[in-house]
Structure formats: C-alpha cells, structure tokens
Amino acid sequence: MPRARAVRGPKALDDWRVSRVLLHDVRTAQAPGGATSLSHSAGLAVCAAVSPARPLGVDLERIRPRDALSLAEWVCSPAERETLAGLRGGEQLTRFYLLWTLKEAFIKAAKLDFPADMASIGLDTAGDLRAPPGRWRAASYRLGEEWICSVAWLASAGDPVRPAWRAVTDCVLPPVAILGEWMSPRA
C-alpha cells in the first residue's frame, strides 16, 4: 500500500480503499489485456475499463459550491470561460464540473501535463470536442444530484457509442443521466 500511506486523513483513506475494491472487482471481471482508469471523490468511486488496452481516462467530482470563474481562469480556454460567465448558479457549476472532469479524463488518457494542458482540451464554442491528436471519444454523465463523471478513450473500430454502467455487488448505482457525448475528427 505505498500510495495509501501518502493519503492524508481517515476519509481520504476510506475513499482510497473503496476505489481499490472497485478496481479489483473490475479487473477480475475484465478480459486479459485490457486497460482501466480509476477516480474517486468523497466516498464514491468509478472505474472505466476497455479491452483491448488503449488510452483511457475517467474522472469523478462531487458538485460543491466553488468560485468556478476563478478556477476557469486557470484551466479553461477563453471560449469556455466566456460560456461559464454567461451561466449562473447551478447551471454554471454543472458546466464547470463537466469541463473539469472532461479535461481530467483527457489528462489521464493522453498522459498530458496537469495543469499545463487543461486549457488546450475541452469543448469549443460550438460544443465540439477539443482533444489531443487521434480519434477520441468522450462522454459526461450526471450521477444522481451530486456527481459528474467524464470518460475519454482513444476510439477503435466497433467501439460502442456509449459506455455501459454497472455497480459492484452490494453497492447502489445512482441514477445516471447523459450530459454529453463527443467524438473528435480523425487526426
């Protein structure tokens, strides 16, 4: 447990443990040669898996009040900041967390630099995907009332249009609603 020792506080350690149980469950059910990506936040964890292995990233965030416009200065493109500035309250937070999780998923999948590359990926003013070179797919979801999750993967022929969701045994999956699905043009 080398990484677990670096985790600070009992809640963070519990999150880490929950995520590792999920990761073990997914890897046990996965065909050999697949890839996984893991994210956890405030007691909830998600794991994305794909076979055969290829670049894949997932991010999960609990929606909580923040100064979204100040954070956007740090991680968003000018067009994304303008879109956020035109929204208020819950709509602004939802859009901010959609962008944040989408960017984090790409940072993980494409092994980009955090935070340096965050503004270069995301959504343009038309709502189209700005992704690293290659044929990428991405999707963002609302999980219940409190969570947003995004997944990004390098696409191959025959990929499903939408990832499938399932809960680990004895766990309840919150209601899942799609917030957006994107595919980058072939590079």
Residue-wise pLDDT tens digits, 100-129: 999 999 999 999 999 999 999 999 888 899
The pLDDT, as a whole number, for residue 173 is: 85
In this prediction the pTM is 0.89
- Residue 70, token pair as written in the block: 């100040």
Domain membership of residue 84 as a residue range: 2-183
pLDDT at 67: 96
Q: Is 63 left (phi over 0), alpha (psi -120 to 50) or beta?
A: beta
Q: Report the distance separating Cα 117 and Cα 18, nearest Å.
A: 29
- Which parts of the chain sit beneath pLDDT 50? 1-4, 187
Q: Domain tally for the chain?
A: 1
Residue 97 burial class via C-beta count within 10 angstroms: exposed 0-12, middle 13-18, buried 19 and up: buried
CATH of the domain at 102: 3.90.470.20
pLDDT at 41: 85
pLDDT of residue 1: 40
Q: Report whether 102 contacts 110 (CB < 8 A).
A: no
The pLDDT value recorded for residue 160 is: 63
